[in-house]
Amino acid sequence: MRRGLWIDISGYTLTQEDKEILQHPAVSGLILFSKNYESLAQLQALTKAIKAAAPHVTITVDQEGGRVQRFQHGFTKLPAMHYWGERFLESRDYATQEFKKILSVMIAELSSAGVQSSLVPVLDIDYGRNAVIGERSFGRDISTIVALADVMIDYCHQHHFPVTGKHFPGHGWVTADSHLSLPVDERSLDEIMANDLQPFIQLHHKLDAIMLAHVVYAAIDPLPVCFSRFWIQTILREQLHYRGIVMCDDLTMQAVATYGDYTERANRALDAGCDVLLVCNARSGVISILDNVSSFRPEG
């Protein structure tokens, strides 16, 4: 993983425009979705073409399990993370061994398809308030979240799969869907530090990347986390001493739609300290950012 813009493509194969954009030196990642998957053979051909066009680009996907599994037919159906949290509370040793087996399957299947990582683990706490998080979380118990995420991280690293912890500093308390609106969390910093931040505090040194929540924590900072120097610089970099990649969630989401055009959003996120910006389902936004954001323009 390296600093830059992470984008998507619209279909099963690369267009000439796709190739040209992927070859831009500021584009460092490509996220695949269900819209890019028809069959294993097609996916293998697609990832091979991506690497031929842009060897530097990291190919990734959201293959969490449960309702967030982009590749379905031809791939093993993965249980949601909440399932593993429940099994862990019943029998720690048994759940850990079975979890490793399913992780082995996930990694093997993605690797065989030419996909280099999955955007996991989800480190959010499931308070039973947010349907968007819900079963994607390992559960309500912080020690269970940390233990299972730790297993996932170590197992992925053993198989050379980078990991991305999400959504910093915790997306589980708010009720709004950040794809549709800007969630606001009114809790104090002390409460968040004692709860939602604990998985990040305990595991940040193992995370290749941390994805930020598109949430405003109103008692702490009026800005969404991706535009907040307090959250990125003061908390993540200075207090937690995190040295990995800071990843801004998709800048096309409605949660940040009122913070200017794509260029302005990108500049705000970069100025706050984000290393990677996600821009999906908005090719015009990608082009605008590459053309107008100075740090992404080629020198000369």
- The question of whether 249 is a catalytic residue gets the answer yes
Where residue 298 falls among pLDDT bands split at 50, 70, 90?
A: low
Apex 189 CA angle, 183 and 193, nearest 5: 100
pLDDT tens figures, 163-184: 999 999 999 999 888 888 889 9
DSSP assignment, residue 165?
A: E
pLDDT tens figures, 138-153: 999 999 999 999 999 9
Of 124, 185, 196, 249, the active-site residue reads 249
pLDDT tens figures, 103-159: 999 999 999 999 999 999 999 999 999 888 999 999 999 999 999 999 999 999 999
Of 159, 160, 179, 205, the active-site residue reads 179
Alpha-carbon Rg for the chain, nearest whole angstrom, is: 18
**CA–CA separation, 66 and 57 (whole Å):** 27
242 to 51, 108, 200, 237, 273: CA distances (angstroms)? 30, 29, 10, 5, 12
Higher per-residue pLDDT: 2 or 278: 278
Asked if CATH classification 3.20.20.300 holds for the domain at 4-296, the reply, yes or no, is yes
Provide the 3-class DSSP secondary structure of residue 283. helix
